[in-house]
């Protein structure tokens, strides 16, 4: 047996380790106890999260990329009806994350929301696969009734998938970021790498879906082609659940949207009150108050003083007991709304990036259809050139994470190398170059009408958009997560998906406006069915100009933006 002196010496050596064993951000383990650093979180937890992300993206893109073909060839929908149905479903997939984020931040927490949502998504994908199996299961039905039954089962399944992904999409990324303790410098650095590898997995899955799963659907039938995504998502659910013992969990603190609405209502009710200059007359609960437990206090900041009225204590507020949260809000609550408002200008500028990115699936493809698609003895489908964009992202992320990031850290002295806003700004510059390249290619194609231009001339514009997407999408994830109020992490993450939806709708609006404005007086317009009769190059130059204005606007917003953590 060791002597008592030796035992005391060993205990003294172990005591600092015990004191530092728990995370500093208040995260808990699955049993509700303070999370231990050496047993939870970090990459040991994030490997399964990245695996789930890979599976869900492979499953989602495995359905979405070729869905219009299924609707037209199997269900015999018209091109217009099929395109509208796909657009409406994809819009739902990008809007439901906001609802899922509210549920996660308010009630269930991120993990439970993900598990339930993923189960709904798997059930929806099984329903979609069942729609392709119906003709094999029911052989005596008429063609019309069979098509109607398939359509009902398919769209029921698709919208179940939309609601399932609505809970999974915003939670998965923010839950992965939760696995790194902000109070630990080494873990903060790892969090930046997590965003890189998260997007890497997303694009690898997209690449496999556009090639492998689409090929299976075309050659082996839709029952197998839609069944594989369901099985892949089930594997992703298993990856998520099997590592539950090593996750770190954040506590919920009530509905974030309710808290925001309370500030707006309280400020409007006191619109005739002059806001105070300082903190003296502003209301804030003491840290030991039960309603403040689990809520990180945010200090008062200057600016947007109108909303300070919501926390201004009037005589009637002092007499009221208990406090009416729709008449008097705490300073932390007011600052949460201020943070959201300050994030809106960068959010709007990022939305336009996705307007430019939408051209890779529309006008870029139309341009490629008018070019020579033969490469050696092969014919390259114009839509397949998006592979250049995906390969660019897949190749650059490891290079960025392993080479550029360490060099930038040495030069700038920052943990992230460059800030998320700087990264987004570099990404927003890429559409300017990509649209200019597309315009030059279109000018070359139009002038060489007698000798078709090779479709490979489009490769640079896809590569440039790939560079832009790599920089912007990862920077955007980091920005919305790191700048979000502690109680609104998932809701702010969902803003990134609203960016994509808003950008897609804006692209449709711009294309419609350009067609209407240029096709007057019997003119074919800039984008007619026969591009040789139009001026697609002018449209690309217009998009380059708008992208440049957007880049300038974002630069101005980024220079003025002040992080609440620096206040």
SS3 track for 102-149: HHHHHHHCHHHHHHHHHHHHHHHHHHHHHHHHHHHHCCCCCHHHHHHH
- Would you state the pLDDT for residue 272? 85
455 CA to centre of own chain: 31
Residues in the chain where the model's pLDDT stays below 70: 1-20, 79-80, 83-84, 139-146, 253, 276-280, 286-295, 317-321, 449-450, 564-567
Residue pair 120/156 in contact (Cβ under 8 Å)? The answer is no
Q: Where in the chain is the domain with CATH 1.20.1250.20?
A: 42-246, 338-560
Residues 6+ apart with CB under 8 A from 295: 253, 332, 486, 487
Q: Which residues lie below 8 Å from residue 444, measured CB to CB, with a gap of 6+?
A: 453, 457
pLDDT the model gives residue 5: 44
In this prediction, residue 380 carries a pLDDT of: 76
Provide the greatest CA pair distance for the chain. Answer: 101
pLDDT at 6: 45
Task: Give the per-residue pLDDT at 393.
Answer: 92
* pLDDT score, position 541: 95
How far apart, in whole angstroms, are the C-alpha atoms of residue 521 and residue 536?
18
Q: Based on the number of CB atoms within 10 Å of its own CB, is 38 exposed (0-12), middle (13-18) or buried (19 or more)?
A: exposed
Instruction: Quote the DSSP letter at residue 374.
Output: E
Calpha distance 22→24 (Å, rounded): 6
Q: Locate tokens 């603190």: which residue?
A: 253
CA distances from residue 553 to 425, 496, 547 in whole angstroms, order as listed: 10, 19, 10
Return the structure tokens found at 108.
């269930």
CA 360/CA 494 separation, integer angstroms: 23
Cα–Cα distance for residue pair 558/419, rounded to 1 Å: 10
Give the Cα separation of 476 and 553 in Å (integer): 16
Domain 42-246: which CATH class? mainly alpha
Question: Would you call 4 exposed, middle or buried from its count of C-beta atoms within 10 A (0-12, 13-18, 19+)?
Answer: exposed
Question: 270 near 309, Cβ under 8 Å?
Answer: yes
Q: What whole-number distance in Å separates Cα of residue 405 and Cα of residue 415?
A: 9
For the entire predicted model, the pTM comes to: 0.79
Q: Are 339 and 484 in contact (CB under 8 A)?
A: yes
**Helices 79-103 and 489-518, axial angle in degrees (round to 10):** 150
**Sign of the CA dihedral running 408, 413, 416, 420:** negative
Q: For residues 326 and 288, what is the distance between their CA atoms, to the nearest angstrom?
A: 22
Residue 489 to residue 106: CA distance in whole angstroms: 11
Over its C-alpha atoms, the chain yields an Rg (Å, rounded) of: 27
The answer to whether residues 167 and 175 touch, using CB atoms and an 8 Å cutoff, is no
136 preceded by cis ω (within 30°)? no
User: What is the number of other CB atoms lying within 10 angstroms of the CB of residue 279?
Assistant: 13
Task: Domain 338-560: give its CATH architecture.
Answer: Up-down Bundle (1.20)
Q: Which two three-digit tokens encode residue 299?
A: 């200090």
């Amino acid at each position: 047996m060791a002597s008592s002196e030796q035992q005391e010496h060993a205990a003294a050596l172990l005591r600092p380790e015990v004191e530092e064993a728990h995370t500093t951000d208040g995260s808990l383990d699955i049993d509700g106890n303070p999370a231990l650093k050496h047993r939870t979180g970090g990459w040991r937890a994030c490997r399964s999260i990245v695996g789930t992300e890979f599976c869900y993206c492979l499953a989602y893109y495995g359905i979405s990329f070729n869905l219009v073909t299924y609707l037209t060839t199997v269900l015999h929908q018209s091109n217009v009806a099929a395109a509208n149905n796909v657009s409406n479903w994809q819009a739902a997939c990008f809007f439901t994350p906001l609802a899922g984020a509210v549920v996660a931040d308010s009630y269930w927490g991120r993990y439970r929301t993900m598990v339930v949502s993923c189960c709904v998504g798997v059930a929806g994908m099984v329903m979609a696969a069942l729609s392709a199996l119906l003709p094999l299961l029911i052989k005596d039905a008429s063609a019309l009734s069979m098509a109607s039954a398939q359509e009902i089962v398919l769209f029921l399944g698709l919208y179940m998938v939309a609601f399932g992904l609505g809970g999974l999409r915003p939670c998965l990324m923010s839950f992965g970021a939760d696995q790194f303790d902000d109070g630990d410098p080494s873990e903060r650095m790892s969090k930046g790498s997590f965003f890189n590898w998260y997007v890497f997995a997303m694009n690898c899955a997209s690449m496999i879906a556009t090639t492998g799963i689409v090929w299976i659907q075309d050659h082996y039938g839709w029952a197998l082609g839609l069944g594989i995504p369901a099985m892949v998502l089930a594997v992703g659910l298993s990856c998520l659940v099997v590592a539950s013992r090593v996750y770190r969990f954040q506590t919920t603190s009530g509905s974030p949207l309710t808290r925001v609405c309370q500030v707006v209502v309280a400020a409007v009710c006191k619109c005739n009150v002059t806001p105070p200059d300082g903190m003296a007359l502003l209301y804030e609960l003491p840290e030991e108050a039960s309603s403040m437990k689990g809520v990180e206090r945010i200090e008062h900041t200057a600016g947007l003083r109108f909303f300070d009225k919501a926390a201004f204590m009037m005589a009637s507020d002092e007499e009221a007991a208990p406090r009416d949260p729709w008449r008097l809000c705490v300073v932390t609550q007011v600052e949460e709304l201020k943070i959201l408002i300050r994030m809106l200008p960068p959010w709007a500028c990022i939305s336009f990036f996705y307007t430019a990115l939408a051209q890779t699936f529309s006008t870029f493809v139309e341009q490629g259809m008018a070019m020579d698609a033969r490469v050696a003895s092969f014919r390259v489908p114009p839509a397949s050139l998006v592979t250049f964009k995906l390969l660019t992202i897949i190749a650059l992320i490891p290079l960025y994470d392993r080479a550029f990031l360490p060099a930038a850290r040495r030069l700038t002295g920052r943990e992230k190398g460059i800030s998320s806003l700087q990264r987004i700004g570099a990404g927003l510059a890429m559409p300017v170059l990509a649209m200019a390249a597309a315009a030059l290619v279109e000018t070359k194609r139009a002038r060489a009408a007698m000798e078709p231009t090779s479709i490979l001339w489009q490769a640079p514009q896809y590569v440039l958009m790939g560079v832009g997407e790599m920089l912007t999408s990862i920077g955007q994830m980091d920005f919305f997560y790191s700048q979000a109020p502690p109680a609104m992490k998932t809701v702010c993450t969902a803003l990134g998906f609203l960016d994509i939806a808003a950008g897609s709708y804006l692209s449709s609006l711009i294309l419609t406006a350009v067609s209407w404005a240029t096709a007057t007086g019997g003119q074919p317009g800039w984008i007619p069915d026969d591009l040789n009769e139009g001026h697609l190059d002018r449209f690309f130059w217009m998009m380059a100009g708008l992208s440049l204005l957007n880049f300038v606007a974002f630069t101005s917003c980024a220079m003025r933006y002040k992080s609440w953590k620096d206040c």
